[in-house]
Structure 1
Amino acid sequence: MSNSTAQVLMKKGKRGAAAYIHADCENGSPQHLGPLLDVLLNPSKAIDEWETIDWCRWLLAGGRTPDEFATIVRSYDKHDKCGLVWIPRVVAYRCRTCGISPCMSICRECFHRGDHSTHDFNMFLSQAGGACDCGDKSVMKEDGFCSNHGNKCTRPGDVPAALMCVAEAMMPRLILRLLQHFRENSCGSQTTSDSYRITVQECEGYVKMLMEFNNMGDLMRSAMTKALINPQMYRNLVEPPFPDTEYGCYMAESNKMYEKALEMFPAPEPPDEYRHLPALAPRLQHNTLLDEFIFWTFKYEFPQNVVCFLLNMLPDQDYKEHLTRTFVLHYARIPLVLEEAADPDTLSNRVVHMSVQLFSNEALALRCVQQLHLLHVMVLSLRLMMGKILVQNSLHDPEHNFHYVIDCTRRVMKEHCYWPLVSDFNNVLSHKSVALLFLQDDALVDMWFEFLSMLQGMNVNVREVGGHIEFEPSSYYAAFSCELEAAAYPMWSVLSHLTEPAHGPLARRMLAAALTYLQDWLDAVHFTAPHMERTEVMQASFHFPLHRYLAAFLCAGVRCMGLRAADVLPPPDLLALLAVHPLRVQVHTHYYTLAHAARAAWGCAPPTCCRRPTCWRCWPCIRCACRVCSTRY
């Protein structure tokens, strides 16, 4: 069929042409749809052209009006899962009584249609966005499903064989057109966050059309899933040789842009022993339309409309499996995207908006850990990200100190660029089967303690006795946030699963690792005796995660797992060395409290410096004068 014949077919009008195409597709071997789509989806036209989008709606309807077709397709929706996707700052609910995963959330409608009145629930304002889990047995208990989802709803009848024939034939080309748009704008002279935003805005209407199709329910999602995860279909659409036509020349140029974009998006350099992991391969391999779709989602910094479209498809289980695997294979590129983003806070929320829906399913998360080494990829990505911002630790004599810690003044820390990585790590560790695998892997535990060592003794505070510090640096907030989110939360997640004597060997493994790295740290800072020089007394760090891990696992092991403290405690001389730094934190904290109490008791007017969290630095001792209000203590 020639281009001119396609134009003749279009003169029949949208409804007439759609009925003709439907009859053609119903026969099983459509002859006219491809050439017609060549005209409608011509890459030389703007992707958001309204007439093209309207033609696609009518063609999909197969001779009915788009609204009539949508109503018929929805009537066959099985309503197994809600899957409603919401953006940030939307009210949602979390029911702890019904939830299997701590990340479970449901929309307002499903909450009110279900029976949660006597449950332990909370209403919250979503910060990163989310998706409704009502109907998903892997995330919440069936008793909590609302009347519209799960086994409580009525089952539809048999689907007419020809209802979706045009949709199944059209969908690969519709998705390809969006990928072509992303390719065209990926290799310009200035590929910045602004250029990415403009590219995404240009396809807003087109993505909205795809979301409308998806919202028709299970039948349309199934047709879209077939197009997205079929390797042969992808090869037929995008791989050479290309025909000697105008469209073939375009596809050849498009393929060059795609190859260039892949080269510009490398994985971080992993240790030699992990180079064989598929998710850490230096070059990405895409086998389906969904694989490439996820690549552009990463490349264009997780645009909100694209993320919502991808998440709206999650009720289809085949799609969810493939999406999760593809997401994991691209996961090591997340630090690169976060580090280069102009607005890492918004980007972080969008990353977590997507990842939390994938890793909340315990069975799926466990398969990713076993088959794709998800935990190794997460820990390595976090360690490599933080390894770029290390500085020499100044807690002890710098001439004898070769310990390096995270620099809390860097953008990665102040902008919390690491947050999506630790949020995902905490999410997967909330599953008991995953947490136990983590504890059983010596290499993984070793990698994790290497990361914790980067936090040990970071953000050293120096007591100022010479002059007043008008403005304190904000790095203290970045340091406390990092230790809480990246060290303490994972520790408590793991400990929550260790509740019986059978877990004793796992606790011993963590205690042994903690002691090994603590000894290495003492050697690195050249701390060999339980006393300090005067210059060292004037310095303090409040961050000792290795000590916290030792104390927490020791306490839990003795209390819940039948361990004897005498069997796992280090020798007395090492124990004395380990006690010094936590005691210094207590001393400084106590001094800070005394200074504030003295000011309150002796009536000092609240000067500017004394309002600051670190106001203890204003006084060499509590008997000296406050340098702002001149009151003597």
Structure 2
Amino acid sequence: MMYIQRCDLIETPCISNLTFFSIVSIAVRTYDNATTCGLVWTPNFVAYRCRTCGISPCMSLCTECFKKGNHQRHDFNMFLSQAGGACDCGDTSVMKETGFCDRHGPNKSVNKGNAPRDLMCVAEAMMPRIILRLIQHLRENSKIPGADKTAIQDADSFITMLLDFNNMGGLMRRVMTQALTNPQMYRLLNEVPHPAETEYAQYMAESKRIYDEALRSLPNPETANDDFRDSTAAGPEHLVHKTFLEELVFWTVKFEFPQKVVCLLLNMLPDVDYKEALTRAFVLHYSRISMMLEKSQDPDTLSNRVVHVSVQLFSNESLALRMTEQLNLLHIMVVSLKYMMSKILIRNTLHNSDKNFHYVVDCGKAVMKEHCYWPLVSDLNNVLSHRPVALKFMADDSLLEMWFVFLSMFQGMNVNQRELIQHVEFEPNTYYAAFSAELEASAYPMWALVSHLTDNTTAHLTRKLLTVCLASLMEWFDAINFYNPTVDDSLQVSFHLPLHRYLAVFLCQAVAKQGIMLNEVLPAPDVLHLLMMHPLRVQVSFLLHSLLPFVEDSM
């Protein structure tokens, strides 16, 4: 059972505890100097997005802040939030100050003076222990199969209390975030007291044992260790938590992002130091999130809740860049995507299947049909919208090689075989999964990268990318045993050629925008003949399909 023993804080008969709480709340709010809104909403909430004021394409505003801001004749839209979100009004890293409402922004805060020293002393002493009790509750219920939902329901009032504390304003929020991010307090309160024979010591020892067991149940993906044998670029193999916040994020991942806990984590984002700490904790557990998405019984709900958190963290350019430089965020994202797709690879059947040693994703698997990869791709597209991050992506040889290995998993997938002998009663339902995956996981990142290659200052990056892309294509030709442009298999075709698309798009960008001569980057004629064959086969198949009704009518 989850509870905090209530103590009567005042003995005056005419004032109830609730009234006293309200008086304290008003006193704390008096010293609230918060400059951002930070209102958190769940799915199906009506919000606004102003492209004129937005620095990040993911910025959003609540109705009140939008209406009180100056957005006349701006390029804005009202939308129904699918994954949830938070209001960015007042955040200069996400939107321009001209779009802030009259209550938010660094230039609109009112100096309300310093709070008395003793105003928050009780809260500062109690808050770490309140958070510890929540952590202990989550530990206790983790050992019971299927008890995650029940655990959150049992803690509903407790989490609501924490949300009420946060809503008191910046002063109380600061007390909460300091308790969550203080490593000394986390270490002190988690120590098993001596003597070990006491009831509380035994309880803490059992709590630690459950916690250690839970950590072992969520290891780093195996492919992450394969890709980075001599580094921790894909995230730590064994998790080591140093703060309550890091452990709380762990349980959030383990319990598949409970909505109430997600709201609690996001409600404190107006605290700048906390936002960076939460982002670091999120990146620390990122590779484990991909595992949870793959195994989830409700991947759609989990996907929305993951993006609800990540979009608030990765939309900040400076923060995303720091995570890239200090925690290898891009490597973790690419490795996580590779891990997810590597679990569903099958032998490719393009051309002569006996001589084809290329492996592609199985579009009939749940990962593809349920779009389990969508949150990871959405996050990658988000961070690649930041120019400094995208340039680092294209400048990193190992990262580019990994990315094109990932793209190769889609190259030639979902082969279509035309049947001439008997009628096909049921068409396979893998088309939508295949086209959606190539669009979201291949094309969207491609256009995000291209958008930053606008002049000759980045021509060297385009050359590097073209070199890696062409090398990947040659490896693919070798894997499918394709050395001659004349092949005898006109009844089959794959519409999915992301490597060809990357080569074509970046060749076009190099010549049209970056002053690179075509003969400098064009491959040899014999390679060109090989490159042309598969796109031409797609065009021929499309033409035959278009003419088929006319042929049937004439018969």
Query: What TM bracket, shorter-length normalisation?
Result: over 0.9
Aligned position for 1:205: 157
Query: How far apart, CA to CA, are the structure 2 residues paired with 1:540 and 1:527?
Result: 14
> Is this contact kept in 2: 1:332–1:377, CA < 8 A?
yes
1:140 aligns with 2:92: no
Aligned position for 1:326: 281
Aligned position for 1:234: 186
> Is this contact kept in 2: 1:279–1:329, CA < 8 A?
no
Which of the residues 437, 440, 448 maps onto 1:493? 448
Cα deviations across residues 530-563 of structure 1 (Å, max 9, x unaligned)?
1221xx2111111000000000000001011111
1:221 aligns with 2:221: no
Identity of aligned residues (%): 58
What amino acid sits opposite 2:354 in the alignment?
Answer: E
Aligned position for 1:170: 126
Query: How far apart, CA to CA, are the structure 2 residues paired with 1:475 and 1:431?
Result: 33
Residues 1:274 and 1:55: Cα distance change in structure 2 (over 3 Å): farther
Aligned position for 1:532: 487
> Is this contact kept in 2: 1:338–1:344, CA < 8 A?
yes
> Is this contact kept in 2: 1:540–1:584, CA < 8 A?
yes
SS of aligned partner of 1:65: helix
Aligned position for 1:179: 135
Aligned position for 2:527: 574
- Of the structure 1 ranges 149-158 and 138-147, higher mean CA displacement relative to structure 2 is found in 149-158
What amino acid sits opposite 2:448 in the alignment?
Answer: S
> Is this contact kept in 1: 2:360–2:410, CA < 8 A?
yes
1:459 aligns with 2:421: no
Residues 1:539 and 1:437: Cα distance change in structure 2 (over 3 Å): same
> Is this contact kept in 2: 1:53–1:206, CA < 8 A?
no
Aligned position for 2:259: 304
Cα deviations across residues 48-75 of structure 1 (Å, max 9, x unaligned)?
x5xx47659989x999711111122122
Residues 1:440 and 1:397: Cα distance change in structure 2 (over 3 Å): same
Query: How far apart, CA to CA, are the structure 1 residues paired with 2:436 and 2:183?
Result: 43
- Of the structure 1 ranges 96-105 and 461-470, higher mean CA displacement relative to structure 2 is found in 461-470
Residues 1:183 and 1:108: Cα distance change in structure 2 (over 3 Å): same
Aligned position for 2:508: 555
Question: Where does the alignment leave 5 or more consecutive residues of structure 1 unmatched?
Answer: 1-45, 599-621, 624-630
Aligned position for 2:464: 509
What amino acid sits opposite 2:274 in the alignment?
Answer: Y
**1:153 offset after TM fit, Å?**
4.1
Question: Where does the alignment leave 5 or more consecutive residues of structure 2 unmatched?
Answer: none
Query: How far apart, CA to CA, are the structure 1 residues paired with 2:337 and 2:88?
Result: 28
Aligned position for 2:114: 158
SS of aligned partner of 1:416: coil
Which of the residues 81, 86, 102 maps onto 2:36? 81
Who wins on radius of gyration, i.e. which is larger?
A: 1
Provide the aligned C-alpha RMSD in A. 1.8
Pairing 1:344-363 to 2, within 5 Å after superposition: 344-363=299-318
The two structures have a TM-score, normalised by structure 1, of 0.84
> Is this contact kept in 2: 1:362–1:431, CA < 8 A?
yes
Residues 1:459 and 1:187: Cα distance change in structure 2 (over 3 Å): same
What amino acid sits opposite 1:204 in the alignment?
Answer: D
Aligned position for 1:313: 268
> Is this contact kept in 1: 2:233–2:331, CA < 8 A?
no
1:249 aligns with 2:202: yes
What amino acid sits opposite 2:481 in the alignment?
Answer: H
SS of aligned partner of 1:216: coil
**1:101 offset after TM fit, Å?**
0.7
Equivalent pairs counted in the alignment come to: 547
- Of the structure 1 ranges 73-82 and 213-222, higher mean CA displacement relative to structure 2 is found in 73-82
Cα deviations across residues 241-292 of structure 1 (Å, max 9, x unaligned)?
4544211211111110001001111011222535521653221000111111
What amino acid sits opposite 2:312 in the alignment?
Answer: Q
Query: How far apart, CA to CA, are the structure 2 residues paired with 1:161 and 1:430?
Result: 44
Query: How far apart, CA to CA, are the structure 1 residues paired with 2:203 and 2:388?
Result: 49
**1:463 offset after TM fit, Å?**
0.9
What amino acid sits opposite 1:548 in the alignment?
Answer: R
What amino acid sits opposite 1:276 in the alignment?
Answer: S
Query: How far apart, CA to CA, are the structure 2 residues paired with 1:204 and 1:545?
Result: 47
